[in-house]
Amino acid sequence: MTGSALAADMAPRYTKAPVAAPVAVYDWTGFYIGADVGGDWIRGDAYTTFIQPGGVGLGAFNQSRRLTSSGFIGGVYAGYNWQAASWVLGLEADISGLANSNTTATAPNLAFPGGALLAGGFNRSQDWLSTVRGRVGYLVTPTTLLYVAGGAAFAENHYCASYTEAGGGVWQTDYRKTQVGYTVGGGAEWMVSPNWLVRAEYLYVSLPGSSVNTVSPAFAPTFVVPFNWSRTDEHIGRIGVAYKFGGPVVAKY
């Protein structure tokens, strides 16, 4: 009996292995919505020409002025991502308002001898900006995405110009116009938790120019003044925070 007891004590004993904790595999696929804020640097030119039908001299007057401004931009964005291995494809739209985008340039001098200074000048401001962009990104880590983006840009520009000649003639215009251009850029995005995304982004936006012809009926109706604004170039840097709907894929071992 003693031998049997010792043999039983020497028999191998087995314990249950600990259960491994679930491992979260982050999935970028899904809808998201967020808000961003940053800076916007805008540049463009403006110029005019006095045109006298059938005449000469004044038609050669053409001087341009630089219009530059910098201000704040902020808005909301939303989109959808598709993840395939380490690649992420997406489609995104945003709309933003701008502050301090107004810029003014004084009127140029007349380009012929004896010409007096013209009072007034050019003005341009932008009320809002919206883009619709495709995105292509690569995951350098499961939670860090580097991406490039490009698509269409839409904005409403406010154009003003006013020239007052020493003799009393006034040529002026004031109107708003929605412009359609393009945008390209890129950035980095981090999945700081299963449902929260943080990004830093740069965009270049190009919008076409605008022109309008004006006359001074009571002073010199034969003199037509075309006010012209050239292409608008914008450089935007901004940061954003978004909420992603859904959660991570959980793998159990």
Residue 197 and residue 189: Cα distance in Å, rounded?
Answer: 7
The pLDDT of residue 67 is 87
Domain that holds residue 234: 23-60+74-251
Is residue 14 one of the residues assigned to a domain? no
In a domain, 13, yes or no: no
Q: Is the pLDDT of residue 32 over 80?
A: yes
pLDDT surpasses 60 at 57: no
Q: How many domains does the chain have?
A: 1
Question: DSSP letter string over 216-236?
Answer: ETTTEEEEEEEEEE--EEEEE
Q: Quickly state the pLDDT bin for 61 (edges 50, 70, 90).
A: low
Most confident of 97-106, 109-118, 217-226, 241-250: 97-106
**Residue 240 confidence (pLDDT) above 70:** yes
For residues 153 and 181, the answer to whether their CB atoms sit within 8 Å is yes
Q: What is the pLDDT of residue 56?
A: 47
Domain annotation covers residue 215: yes
Q: Are 32 and 242 in contact (CB under 8 A)?
A: yes
Give the pLDDT mean for 20-49. 84
Residue 23 clears pLDDT 80, i.e. is over it: no
> pLDDT band at residue 226, thresholds of 50, 70 and 90?
confident
Length of the chain, in residues: 253
Q: How many CA atoms does the CB half-sphere of 1 hold within 13 Å?
A: 0
- Looking up residue 87, the CATH number of its domain turns out to be 2.40.160.20
The average pLDDT across 18-27 equals: 60
pLDDT average, residue stretch 208-215: 89
Token output for 52: 């006298």
- State residue 169's pLDDT score: 77
Residue 126 lies in a domain: yes
Residue 179 maps to a domain = yes
When pLDDT is cut at 50, 70 and 90, the band that residue 110 belongs to is low
pLDDT tens sequence across 141-198:
999 999 999 999 999 999 998 887 767 778 889 999 999 999 999 999 999 998 999 9
Q: Is residue 3 part of a domain?
A: no
Kindly state whether residue 194 falls inside one of the protein's structural domains.
yes
For the cut 60, the answer to whether the pLDDT of residue 8 exceeds it is no
Residue 2 pLDDT = 53
pLDDT at 251 over 50: no
Residue 88 lies in a domain: yes
